[in-house]
Amino acid sequence: MQNWNKILQAVLALAAIATITAPRVHAQDNGTPKPAAKQEVPLPGPFDQDPNTPPDTVMPDTRPLTGAQEFSVGTEPARHSYWAPGFRFANFWQSNAVGAGQNNGWASTSYLLGTLSVRQNWIHSSLAVNYSGGGTFSTEPASSNLNGGYQQLGLVQEFGWNRWKLSFLDQFSYTTSSTFGFGGGTNIDLPGIGGTLGSDLPGLQNNYVPNQSVFGSIGTRYSNGGVVQTEYLLSKRSSIVFSGSYGILRFTQSGNIDVNDAIFSGGYNYQISAKDHIGVVYHYSNYRYLGDPQAFSDHSAQFAYGRKLTGRLGLQLFGGPEITVFRIPLGNETRRVGGAGGAGIAYAFSQGDMGVSYSHGLTGGSGLLVGSSSDQIQIQAARQLARRYRGQIGFGFARNKSLESGNSLIPGQTYDTYYFNAGINHALGRTMNLNAGYTFQKQNANLQLCPTTACGTTYTQHQVSIGFDWHTRPYVIE
């Protein structure tokens, strides 16, 4: 924790020095980016959700179908490089709060965060960084799980040379609770300043980020998924993609299972029309557990289909056979044959947008299971309600089933996890935003679980939140 505080203090100090001393960095006169004197490569990330942005100003999504990122509906043209610091406050009232021992299980938790979004473009490369960091402060004692630090980071660094493209992507979180369905209506679940200048990064697919879709795992945890990806264009219509990733999920409190995962993939992409893409991809995944001799190796070959309508639709579909190999046999089994797949949809319309993601296959177990067969679906939608008001809703469901390992905390366990959230955002000019939200979480299990002081087979929580976001006008880097 002290190390993170030192890092945050250093980042803020550098930002302050740059603001005072850098003669070539200046704040814009308004919230609209100014054109640069030279042409710059587009930044990665989803389309700016501003409903007033006409579709013909959107750059096509160039992410490969068999790569590590989800499709978007396109990106805004990058007219300049900039950085923008900000501040975020959010307060949650939670029922049945893990670690709460007073007020009949209700607790109030406040988040005080500094935020930063950076975009830097060069002729053959680009950098995009979104960061949020600070602390959580609860009405419960200092020893409660609700008190601690909070860090979120999304980073994309890209290089391009003729037919080659090299990408470094990273997604990090340090939180006091599961990130599955967290922060609905407050934007606190995303790093950076948010809004039109802080797009969601890096947009990794579900299997490249350590799974946290079980609410029963308790305490502060940190998670990181880092990806290196290279793409080579064979022709105007075809390419090959290779990627490797390493992920960790760690808990600071005993009673959870720490996991490492490594994923390697190779894929072939072919564009059959201006809008349609097909591909084939091979995935190798390996899961290892600290303090547990069990390990899993997973092989899958999947066919893929994608469709892109710039400014409107990004669609991906995957599916194929999967073979899981166990280091320690489960009963008489040394391997298991099944299927793996997923889908992702990003859709934008005149007054809003929506996204749907689904995945099925082997995951790390979310801190309670030594490996799990998982199904996960998430749906998010937002709509402009008035000139300064925007509403959003979200739904998620995950089923995590134990692989029957005798070393799991609870062998044979199955968790069904749900969440629903809704929120409304009120813009106070170009740089400030008020928001309010509600989140419902529920978990059902076939065996007893103890996420709170009272054990049972079900767990329910209600969260009511209010928040405030502010950031400076962007400082242009010439």
Determine the pLDDT at residue 405. 52
What does the block give as tokens for 354? Answer: 């929506």
Sign of the C-alpha dihedral, residues 16, 17, 18, 22?
positive
- pLDDT at residue 408 greater than cutoff 60: no
pLDDT band at residue 317 under the 50/70/90 scheme: very high
The letter for the amino acid at 363 is: T
pLDDT band at residue 385 under the 50/70/90 scheme: very high
pLDDT band at residue 430 under the 50/70/90 scheme: confident
pLDDT band at residue 445 under the 50/70/90 scheme: confident
Q: Rounded distance, CA 125 to CA 167, Å?
A: 10
- pLDDT at residue 198 greater than cutoff 50: yes
Sign of the C-alpha dihedral, residues 52, 55, 59, 60?
positive
- pLDDT, mean over the chain: 83
Q: Rounded distance, CA 293 to CA 327, Å?
A: 8
Q: Kindly state the average pLDDT of the residues 192-209.
A: 82
Sign of the C-alpha dihedral, residues 184, 185, 186, 191?
positive
Q: Distances in Å between the alpha carbon of 410 and those of 187, 415, 445, 449?
A: 34, 11, 11, 9
Domains in the chain: boundaries:
2-477
What is the secondary structure of 92-110 as a DSSP string?
A: EEESS-TT--SGGG-EEEE
Q: Kindly state the average pLDDT of the residues 7-22.
A: 40
Please tell me the CATH code under which domain 2-477 is placed.
2.40.160
Least confident of 5-9, 192-196, 326-330: 5-9
Burial pattern 320-351, b for ≥16 Cβ within 10 A else e, equals bebebebeeebeeeeebeeebbbbbbbbbeee
What does the block give as tokens for 138? Answer: 């609860």
For strands 313-330 and 333-349, give the pairing: antiparallel
- pLDDT at residue 252 greater than cutoff 80: yes
User: Which parts of 122-163 are beta strand (E)?
Assistant: 125-138, 148-161
- Any residues with CB less than 8 A from the CB of 340 and at least 6 apart, and which? 283, 298, 300, 302, 318, 319, 320, 321, 322, 360, 361, 362
Determine the pLDDT at residue 141. 63
Q: Rounded distance, CA 179 to CA 194, Å?
A: 17
Least confident of 9-13, 147-151, 406-410: 9-13
Determine the pLDDT at residue 116. 96
- pLDDT at residue 124 greater than cutoff 60: yes
Residue among 153, 246, 263, 257 at smallest CA distance from 214: 257
Element (H, E) at 446: strand 432-449
Determine contact, residues 354/200, Cβ cutoff 8 Å. no
Read off the pTM.
Answer: 0.83
What does the block give as tokens for 70? Answer: 């989800």
Q: What is the pLDDT of residues 450-476, one digit of tens each?
A: 554 456 678 899 999 999 999 999 999
- What are residue 24's phi and psi, to 5 degrees? -100, 10
